[in-house]
Copies of this chain bind each other. A is one copy, B any other.
């Protein structure tokens, strides 16, 4: 690898002087992402302004065997953008043009660095819906959302990012610019590289532009909350809702520990005596929304809810959704280090899984609260460590290894929506088996023969 100053000079020749950083501040900032406990310093941070500049950086890096880690907002929770082997962090936030919103074709086209919220807001202004809504959407980028196949609160009814990506422009590590898919839902010309790149976590190619499907914005939305004695009761209510033929847009849960933390943090007026809380919501025509919400209310009452309330207005609905969205900050303030995880199980095994998590947490002397997407079985067990717990991080690591093994044993997975990155790679073989791991490595080589792109992550 060239010495730091040579590297900076070579990269500046591609992107211009002002867009390469090798100062201590930058190298320290880009040594980490939103994942705690993972740090590795790059040699340089480069911010290209175009697809051609991305291609030139990649050709340069491949020729010299320099690692390149593509990065959007760095909001991922799996150490997916930590430059484990140093090299270049390729920051894509200058590719920030929202290129097109087409009500006629029900699609949007954006450069990789546009935030998901900016895309969704521009669509909403034309009465269109971009359905994926990860918690990070105000900061996270379209490219990052595609690279991680981001999920969100509407997954049950609307699916996840992969269900909306129609086409991509991407640059191979060897510098070729490819365009996969296009503007059509129906297109089977070639292997499905659009979906292969979606969720590939910056290990196969650098996504520079995405075309995504939009939907007509729903006319109406509604939200409600149900309190239960236990998560087992809440889980039975979820099953009963599905059995009633309703697949609502939102079906989120908080366990007892989360309810307490959120209420102390935000004072939203949540019941303190409940063992679990379900936030449910739907969208569509006013008749559909009111019909489905009334039916969910009825089903929750029949399955033993302590209380079920429909939000009487938008402000109250927002407060309920805020209860879910602020679970993480509410828990984080209780300790010095917060580890947010992402184990996922079939929805009918959710209560069983949370019991197992609680048992594991008790055994390791850890505080782990769980919230998440009840409709998807996508759990976010969140470990909060006390500042004076010297070996807490080590115990948490062991506890989560047990939690992931339990998720797999329940026909689930080690990550529903956060990604593998460096954080989950040690558990991936348990999920996929050795033969599939070897296949991932062969696919990685088909894209990246020099192994420069995000090394130490998927495909390594």
Contact = CB atoms under 8 A, between A and B. Distances in A.
A364 interface: no
A346 B416 CA distance: 33
B420 A105 contact: no
Given A162-B192, A188-B199, A198-B192, A346 B183 contact: yes
Given A216-B247, A287-B285, A344-B184, A196 B199 contact: no
Nearest to A434: B176
A414 interface: yes
Nearest to A198: B192
A439 B177 CA distance: 11
Contacts of A288: 284-285, 287-288
Interface string A400-417: 000000000001111111
Interface stretch (A40-48, A254-262, A351-359, A441-449): A441-449
A178 B346 contact: no
A202 interface: no
A363 interface: no
A159 to B, nearest CB: 6
Nearest to A219: B245
A349 to B, nearest CB: 10
A219 to B, nearest CB: 8
A344 B446 contact: no
Nearest to A244: B216
Nearest to A78: B188
Contact of A148 (B106, B172, B188): B188
B215 A419 contact: no
B178 A436 contact: yes
A125 to B, nearest CB: 15
Interface stretch (A11-19, A66-74, A425-433): A425-433
A182 interface: yes
A178 B440 contact: no
Nearest to A163: B163
Q: Copies of this chain, how many?
A: 2
Chain A residues touching B, range: 35 or more
A103 interface: yes
A192 B199 contact: yes
A390 interface: no
Contacts of A442: 446-447
A149 interface: yes
A373 B186 CA distance: 10
Contacts of A98: none
A416 B160 contact: no
A251 to B, nearest CB: 12
Given A162-B195, A180-B436, A189 B414 contact: yes
Contacts of A103: 242-243
A411 B179 CA distance: 12
A112 to B, nearest CB: 18
Contact of A155 (B179, B185, B420, B436): B185
Contact of A195 (B195, B242, B418): B195
Interface string A280-300: 000011011001000000000
Contact of A376 (B160, B186, B345): B186
A442 B444 CA distance: 10
A355 to B, nearest CB: 19
A378 interface: yes
A239 interface: yes
A400 to B, nearest CB: 14
A151 B186 contact: yes
Interface string A107-124: 000000000000000000
B105 A346 contact: yes
A184 B377 contact: yes
12 contacts: A104-B348, A155-B186, A159-B163, A178-B432, A186-B376, A189-B415, A189-B432, A191-B199, A285-B291, A287-B291, A288-B288, A446-B446
Given A187-B344, A191-B200, A285-B291, 11 more contacts: A104-B243, A178-B436, A183-B411, A184-B412, A184-B413, A186-B373, A186-B378, A189-B432, A190-B428, A284-B288, A287-B288
